[in-house]
Structure 1
Amino acid sequence: MNIEAAPKDVGTPSSAWRSRADAWEFLGYAFKQLAKSRTGTGGKTANAALAEQAARALSLLHAVEIYWAAPGQTAVRQLRAALDAGDFRTGLELLRGLAPMVPGHGGAAPLPSRGHGPAGTGDAEDDGGGQAPDDGERPRFDVLVVDDLTAEEADSLKADLLAQRRPGDAFTYELVVVPSYEDALVALLLNPAIQACILRPGLVAESGQPLGRDLRAYLSTHTAAAPAGARPLQLILALAEQLTALRPEVDVYLTAGVSIESLAGSLSRRFRRIFRKQDHLDLHLSLLSGVAERFRTPFFTALQEYSRRPASVFHALPVSRGGSVVGSPWIRDMADFYGLNLLMAETSATSGGLDSLLDPHGSIKEAQDLAARAFGSHQTFFVTNGTSTANKVVHQSILAPGVVVLVDRNCHKSHHYAFALAGAQVSYLDAYPLDRYAFYGAVPLASIKARLLEYRRAGRLDEVKMITLTNCTFDGIVYDVERVMEECLAIKPDLVFLWDEAWFAFARSHPVFRRRTAMAAARKLVASFGDPYYRDRHAEQAAQLWDPVTGRPADDEAWLQTRLVPDPARARVRVYATQSTHKTLTSLRQGSMIHVFDQDFEERNRESFREAYMTHTSTSPNYQILASLDVGRRQVELEGFGLVQRQADLATSVAQAVARHPLLKKYFRVLTSRDLIEAPFRKTGPAMPHRDGLAALADAWEHDEFVVDPSRLTLDISRTGIDGDTFRHRYLADGHGIQVNKTSRNTVLFMTNIGTSRSSVAYLIEVLVKLAESFEEHRSTTAGAGRRRTPAASDDGGTPPLPDFSRFADRFRRDALCPDGDVRAAYFEGYKDGSTEYLFAEELGARIDAGLDVVSAGFVTPYPPGFPILVPGQVITRKTLEFMAALDTKEVHGFDPERGYRVFAEPEPAIARTAGPERGESQLV
């Protein structure tokens, strides 16, 4: 934090946690130094300058502490009084007393240092003497009260509620009292420790706080304003809707003075409970109960209880309860390393409350239901062998031989293998290329619409069953999910969507990111389809896009140029999302989830989904992974917002450091939205919206076709003269212990996550500076010798353009009008005796130059970039060979360097083709 420039208003929400923590930390330093050496001399002494900086920090805290229970504005006023009086020792003592309450994790409440039983069950630790556990040992949260109270009234309310505390309470809480509608929204945006809101009739509309420009812009543009001249109840109802939209996990309560019986029946949807003002005990218990419900982890708790019971094992799994380990002189170091609890919790039993993953009716079923609530789905299913398996489950449940699936060719290889298993006709879509950086973006909506219209022209739209897209991509490109589904449903009302959100599970926890998740978009569409205004919009558009006489659609160009509105009477919202919980949230490796929001699931997919789940799920699932998914869901609901807000802000701080440091910006550059998203797909201007504040971020995520996940940093290393793979291994992993899992020819991808700390970010910046210094030194020592392999100029590495999907060979296509092919037929034909041969690139090139079609018999997937360059049945082109030749990656799945490419033995006759553009598919004639 720059204390010299500390604002006096509430500034950018995304970095408020960091500014606040820095301000409190600086005050501790400042008062300690001031107390050590006081000076009686006049003028601008060092002490005077330090006191001025402390005053600025207190000005910042005065603006934001109203939204936190502790340390709070009272502490700020006391510190300011001590500073003004020159009583630095008193201020220092006050700060020492506040130390347990000073923010350390982005404003999150302290977590227990020892384990507790399920909250609300009376299993919280107790010393046996009837004393409450130390507050530092219990999770603490903040409760927001919205009412325009005087200081005395607020203190009285706090005293009344806190007097209800009991020794056995599993949690402790403090109250944050704000007067207005606007202040309530700001509090939820700034303070992640808030777990409940109490709305009271005395609230007013506008804030009296000096809100910063970013907050004002966000509130005015992206939240509904307080209704002008509204009665108290109308204001309360509007606020309840907005609070739930911002933080759906937070419980909202209403306290009213009169006629609560008449309110209860009509308002139950908006509030967890309604109370009379005097019902302090019931309100207190409800606050604890609401948090306890989110804290509850049915399967994790059942597994803990099982591990504590005495048992004799007379079935499978010798490792269970440490039986084959703890008595062995040869492998007991396994128990030393992992701990006995892991072995005690290992079992193949489904008794004792542990439940069966394949037929859940107990603790696993409860855990999955809680996950569905947390992620906004109709149903959620746990997967213990990764999102690769989750994808196969969904595809097998929806697809069948003969139906068509549209899919981004750049998606994870698990989808492609799933198509080979399911037997669907695959119609590949091409994402826009980023040739300079050797990876793809995402598939433009115009391309998706054009493909659907192509099938409609061919009379085959009824065969199209499903579309699969990756949101967000490995490199952080995020779709406008709602718009894609909306416009696709206008062409094909029963289209099923699978969004591969392997890298996007965290997005549910942030109000801006959430709107681009599959589950949130599906829920929004269902709400829109029930709106009479939406039906009117569709009717008006249909009059323009359909000929009323012939009943035929207008020309395709009109459909492509129009933002389409589906018929809400016909459109069905059938949406699936697969998420790698272990990639971006807390879970053991391979812990994943399938989220379902399918209006027709019970009628059309329940049985096939069940069979697909049985097909791909192990009968011996790892219980530790299941338990971690249960715990990870708890964390999402109780602290996800703060953690995700912090992860994005830390990434932005890295980007700013690279852009500002004179040496770093000489050799590195963090790619921005302008680099990663082509101009036609961006309506807003900022290169890095998150850097410009919450309002700019929300603008981009609302209006742009594609946006970039701000927690991902693609670092352009072209000017170092080092390729990405070498930089990753030699300079980062081997040299400094920094792990990344994706590079391209000239980029390295860094990702912050909910576990990233400020220290790790500082270390990354430090390492980059050291590397830049070494490049600079190398450059200076070799310049005289004429060797300048580390220039401060662009070096793109000479990578040829990324190859688009060429086409399927004729014998694997259904017709010449549409591009889909039968991957399954090609896949299995490739394993018939004598059907394939191996050719090196030179031999392949010669055949291609001779006008022959050479067809791949398998998948070829380089890592990086990580997408299949070839799939079974695909015609190999010269572009493919050139791209493969330029890659320097060591890992290529499906390619044998000793034998070459596996292709079908009988090359097909060349197909006459019209000349087309350099990029893009040839046209059949």
Structure 2
Amino acid sequence: MNIIAILNHLGVFFKEEPIHQLQASLESKGFQVVYPVDVQDLLKLIEKNPRVTGVIFDWDKYSLGLCKEIHDRNEKLPIFAFANDQSTLDIHLADLRLNVHFFEYRLGMADDIALKMGQATQDYQDTILPPFTKALFKYVEEGKYTFCTPGHMGGTAFQMSPAGSIFYDFYGPNAFKADVSISMPELGSLLDHSGPHKEAEEYIARTFNADRSYIVTNGTSTANKIVGMFSAPAGSTVLVDRNCHKSLTHLMMMSDVTPIYFRPTRNAYGILGGIPQSEFLPETIHAKVAATPGAKMPRYAVITNSTYDGLLYNTGFIKENLETPFIHFDSAWVPYTNFSPIYEGKCGMSGDAIPGKVVYETQSTHKLLAAFSQGSMIHIKGEVEEETFNEAFMMHTSTSPQYGIVASTEIAAAMMRGNTGKRLIKDSIDRAISFRKEIKYLREQSEGWFFDVWQPDNIDSVECWKLDPKDAWHGFKDIDDNHMYLDPIKVTLLTPGMGSDGQLLGSGIPASLVSKFLDERGIVVEKTGPYNLLFLFSIGIDQSKAMQLLRALTEFKRAYDLNLSIKKMLPALYNEAPHFYEGMRIQELAQAIHELTIKYRLPELMFKAFDVLPEMKMTPHAAWQQELAGNVEEVPLQQMVGRVSANMILPYPPGVPLVLPGEVVTDASRPVLDFLQMLCDIGAHYPGFETDIHGLYRQADGSYTVKVLR
């Protein structure tokens, strides 16, 4: 809906009556007219209601200062200034960029002025809409009748059956009209990067400070494979973050490359740390190449930035020191870093291109910007052979891409442009910092225990907070200075049970209990560790959602302190195993799980499991080929020592591979197996607490098997 805001407290007839006539004329054209009470009310209306398409005010009263205030919030928004013919337009040539339209107070001119305002608001909408989306909207409005794919032709096929009609009504007509065939020449081609698709990718590249950008319609898992397929031909050696996403493991299974791993750190909470600076230095890489059979000097390196828990690198150091022609930052979780100064120097597209090197950044647009699922982007800084790169792109891209995903990815870029996008990210950062402070305040005010936050002691400055080697709060030992930084919008809450030194306390509240409690109240936690919970304060989290989370956390404390029954406090968990949980209370369950983690020495075991690497007997690609040939068998989990794993094995959370295809768990890497067994045992002891472990297969008797090569 188009909304026009009128800031008008004039109190004189010759000004009031023309405005009343103008309101009637605007409303007849479909505009909604609202009257803010003062300047601050108007500015808040613009900030909080993006459907405002214009502002009317009295130049005699407010003048240029108000224009600049509006411009700071949305530099494209049309401003309509009214003045009588005695007014002095004290405005300079440079101020005309403020998009001000001037009118006089005259009776009988309302229809003509409303027409001009309608044209200005239409120009505004045309200006803020990016090229592909604009072309797609135009195509839908034309209502063409096609005999080519897709066969449902605007949804008509769905409406020919009862079930299809329900489906059609749920999504609405435009969702189907915009699901068009790649055969439409006026929309160009995503595969050929022509027409409006090309314009969209150029628009995105300018927005994200890239030399070249690509829209990917099936997620960053695919974006990662496209980049790796182009940058690492068969027979090459690649440097891979051991904390990589499993899509990069799949890349190594698909392509015959030899991996060498960067070794990241980890603290007692299980929070993923960064890769030490020494791992990027030439002498370290040369030594690893010499120690790896069949390895050559690597040409492609991939680093996860940020880590799952919100740690960002000093990317300038990495780009300058890594001696590989292709450097890839898997930045799935931080597509917003180009839009706030606090991230400068901490993302792949920061700064200028480096001669002789290509820097990639893959981003999940749908994760922390606004786009449909599977919307992703590849950004490139540096020169690549575009025709060859596009072959890698087409290998992984459907010849029938979903145009709604393409448009939503482009719209995400449009939302970030200019002052509006900067304010969106600033508000997100401010909201996260405010939430952090509120948790600290509640902790100080609470009787007994309350949640804590994983962060520095002083968070008054709006920045990415440095992990200082002198500080103890982060729990990482011997870290590099000016290397890792905590993103303020990634909020990790800590539950009782572990001391600041990483030692388990006598009593504790496992974070999984809190996560289940929140889930029952419609709040989904991004990641649950043993005694920590991760929340993402994206642009979609408003103040009401933050308050709901605070309220739910205080409700958990109250219910826990009252020692309510599992049946009452966690009914979904109770229903999974009523006989087991009958009569059990929350404190009993919490302490029982906590004592199990003490028994297994969880922090120590988890640290060792991710600190030691299994031995690579063959590449992931070679192991996968063996599995495809059927040269595999299933064995009990405890019998995998000394056997070559056919699959990757990774527990969620955190979704980081423990064992890769072609690797062998040896006596030296036995903690890997012990950690997996502990996760299985917790699930066996307490129904509903099973860990999702990719690569382990649960049998009918509750035991687990793995696939190994014969």
Question: 1:448, CA displacement in angstroms?
Answer: 2.7
Kindly indicate whether the alpha-carbon contact (under 8 Å) linking 2:511 and 2:529 is maintained by their aligned counterparts in 1. Answer: yes
Provide the residue aligned with 1:96 in structure 2: 37
* 1:367 and 2:306 aligned: no
Question: 1:495, CA displacement in angstroms?
Answer: 3.0
Question: 1:703, CA displacement in angstroms?
Answer: 6.7
Query: What value does the CA root-mean-square deviation take over the aligned residues?
Result: 4.0
Partner SS state of residue 332, structure 1: helix
Kindly indicate whether the alpha-carbon contact (under 8 Å) linking 2:464 and 2:487 is maintained by their aligned counterparts in 1. Answer: no
Question: Higher mean Cα deviation, 865-874 or 663-672?
Answer: 663-672
Matching of residues 478-489 of structure 1 within 5 Å: 478-488=312-322
Change beyond 3 A, Cα 1:694–1:445: same
Q: 1: CA distance between counterparts of 2:434 and 2:253?
A: 44
Provide the residue aligned with 1:705 in structure 2: 483
Question: 1:696, CA displacement in angstroms?
Answer: 8.2
Kindly indicate whether the alpha-carbon contact (under 8 Å) linking 2:616 and 2:663 is maintained by their aligned counterparts in 1. Answer: no
* 1:520 and 2:350 aligned: yes
Name the count of aligned residue pairs.
587
* 1:108 and 2:47 aligned: yes
Match of residue 897, structure 1, among 698, 704, 707: 698
* 1:723 and 2:510 aligned: yes
Matching of residues 719-758 of structure 1 within 5 Å: 719=497, 721-728=508-515, 730-734=516-520, 736-758=521-543
Instruction: Output one character per residue of 1:189-209: Cα deviation in whole Å (capped at 9) or x when no partner.
Output: xx554579xxxxxxxxxxxxx
* 1:440 and 2:272 aligned: yes
Question: 1:904, CA displacement in angstroms?
Answer: 2.1
Kindly indicate whether the alpha-carbon contact (under 8 Å) linking 1:717 and 1:747 is maintained by their aligned counterparts in 2. Answer: yes
Matching of residues 64-463 of structure 1 within 5 Å: 96-98=37-39, 100-103=41-44, 108=47, 110-112=49-51, 136=52, 138=53, 174-176=67-69, 192-193=73-74, 278=93, 284=99, 295-351=128-184, 353-434=186-267, 436-449=268-281, 451-455=284-288, 463=297
Partner SS state of residue 200, structure 2: helix
Kindly indicate whether the alpha-carbon contact (under 8 Å) linking 1:410 and 1:868 is maintained by their aligned counterparts in 2. Answer: yes
Partner SS state of residue 438, structure 2: helix
* 1:631 and 2:379 aligned: no
Provide the residue aligned with 1:607 in structure 2: 387
Q: 2: CA distance between counterparts of 1:353 and 1:475?
A: 43
Question: 1:707, CA displacement in angstroms?
Answer: 0.9
Question: 1:294, CA displacement in angstroms?
Answer: 6.2
* 1:467 and 2:301 aligned: yes
Kindly indicate whether the alpha-carbon contact (under 8 Å) linking 1:808 and 1:873 is maintained by their aligned counterparts in 2. Answer: no
Q: What letter matches 2:482 in structure 1?
A: D
* 1:497 and 2:327 aligned: yes
Q: What letter matches 1:103 in structure 2?
A: K
Change beyond 3 A, Cα 1:891–1:789: closer
Q: TM-score, normalised by structure 2?
A: 0.74
Q: 1: CA distance between counterparts of 2:586 and 2:529?
A: 28
Matching of residues 638-717 of structure 1 within 5 Å: 638=418, 639-662=420-443, 666-673=448-455, 687=456, 691-694=459-462, 697=465, 704-717=482-495
- % identical equivalent positions: 26
Provide the residue aligned with 2:622 in structure 1: 825
Question: 1:476, CA displacement in angstroms?
Answer: 0.6
Kindly indicate whether the alpha-carbon contact (under 8 Å) linking 1:298 and 1:367 is maintained by their aligned counterparts in 2. Answer: yes
Change beyond 3 A, Cα 1:790–1:738: same
Q: 1: CA distance between counterparts of 2:437 and 2:654?
A: 27
Matching of residues 774-923 of structure 1 within 5 Å: 774-778=559-563, 798-799=601-602, 800-802=605-607, 803-804=609-610, 806=612, 811-812=617-618, 822-833=619-630, 835-844=631-640, 848=641, 853-876=642-665, 877-887=669-679, 888=683, 889-898=690-699, 900-905=705-710
Q: 1: CA distance between counterparts of 2:405 and 2:592?
A: 47
Provide the residue aligned with 2:15 in structure 1: none
Kindly indicate whether the alpha-carbon contact (under 8 Å) linking 1:387 and 1:579 is maintained by their aligned counterparts in 2. Answer: yes
Partner SS state of residue 617, structure 1: coil
Kindly indicate whether the alpha-carbon contact (under 8 Å) linking 1:403 and 1:424 is maintained by their aligned counterparts in 2. Answer: yes
Kindly indicate whether the alpha-carbon contact (under 8 Å) linking 1:158 and 1:175 is maintained by their aligned counterparts in 2. Answer: no
Change beyond 3 A, Cα 1:665–1:395: farther
Question: 1:350, CA displacement in angstroms?
Answer: 3.5
Q: TM-score, normalised by structure 1?
A: 0.58
Partner SS state of residue 498, structure 1: strand
Partner SS state of residue 147, structure 2: coil
Q: 2: CA distance between counterparts of 1:316 and 1:788?
A: 60
Gaps of 5+ in 2: 8-34, 78-90, 102-119, 470-479, 498-506, 567-584, 684-689
Question: Higher mean Cα deviation, 835-844 or 366-375?
Answer: 835-844
Provide the residue aligned with 1:596 in structure 2: 380
Question: 1:516, CA displacement in angstroms?
Answer: 1.0
- Structure with larger Rg: 1
Q: 2: CA distance between counterparts of 1:696 and 1:347?
A: 43
Kindly indicate whether the alpha-carbon contact (under 8 Å) linking 1:409 and 1:805 is maintained by their aligned counterparts in 2. Answer: no
Q: 1: CA distance between counterparts of 2:589 and 2:379?
A: 50
Instruction: Output one character per residue of 1:773-817: Cα deviation in whole Å (capped at 9) or x when no partner.
Output: 111111899xxx9976657999766422332375565752xxxxx
Change beyond 3 A, Cα 1:671–1:111: closer
Instruction: Output one character per residue of 1:113-163: Cα deviation in whole Å (capped at 9) or x when no partner.
Output: xxxxxxxxxxxxxxxxxxxxxxx4x15699xxxxxxxxxxxx89996x89x
Question: 1:574, CA displacement in angstroms?
Answer: 1.0
Partner SS state of residue 576, structure 1: strand
Q: 2: CA distance between counterparts of 1:739 and 1:699?
A: 28
Instruction: Output one character per residue of 1:825-863: Cα deviation in whole Å (capped at 9) or x when no partner.
Output: 122123334x3222213333xxx4xxxx32211111211
Q: 2: CA distance between counterparts of 1:352 and 1:698?
A: 50
Q: What letter matches 1:723 in structure 2?
A: P
Kindly indicate whether the alpha-carbon contact (under 8 Å) linking 2:230 and 2:392 is maintained by their aligned counterparts in 1. Answer: yes
Change beyond 3 A, Cα 1:294–1:406: farther
Kindly indicate whether the alpha-carbon contact (under 8 Å) linking 1:405 and 1:426 is maintained by their aligned counterparts in 2. Answer: yes
Instruction: Output one character per residue of 1:608-666: Cα deviation in whole Å (capped at 9) or x when no partner.
Output: 31111010001111111111111111101042211111112222222222222147685
Q: What letter matches 1:444 in structure 2?
A: P
Q: What letter matches 1:804 in structure 2?
A: F
Question: 1:97, CA displacement in angstroms?
Answer: 4.6
Kindly indicate whether the alpha-carbon contact (under 8 Å) linking 1:406 and 1:428 is maintained by their aligned counterparts in 2. Answer: yes
Instruction: Output one character per residue of 1:596-618: Cα deviation in whole Å (capped at 9) or x when no partner.
Output: 112x31xxx32331111010001
Question: 1:439, CA displacement in angstroms?
Answer: 3.9
Q: What letter matches 1:301 in structure 2?
A: K
Change beyond 3 A, Cα 1:859–1:703: closer
Q: 1: CA distance between counterparts of 2:234 and 2:551?
A: 55
Kindly indicate whether the alpha-carbon contact (under 8 Å) linking 1:428 and 1:805 is maintained by their aligned counterparts in 2. Answer: no
Partner SS state of residue 545, structure 2: helix
Q: What letter matches 2:525 in structure 1?
A: V
Kindly indicate whether the alpha-carbon contact (under 8 Å) linking 1:413 and 1:868 is maintained by their aligned counterparts in 2. Answer: yes
Q: 1: CA distance between counterparts of 2:6 and 2:550?
A: 32
Q: What letter matches 2:313 in structure 1?
A: Y
Question: Higher mean Cα deviation, 578-587 or 718-727?
Answer: 718-727
Partner SS state of residue 469, structure 1: strand
Change beyond 3 A, Cα 1:634–1:453: same
Q: 2: CA distance between counterparts of 1:631 and 1:395?
A: 27
Kindly indicate whether the alpha-carbon contact (under 8 Å) linking 1:319 and 1:346 is maintained by their aligned counterparts in 2. Answer: no
Q: 1: CA distance between counterparts of 2:284 and 2:182?
A: 50
Provide the residue aligned with 1:507 in structure 2: 337
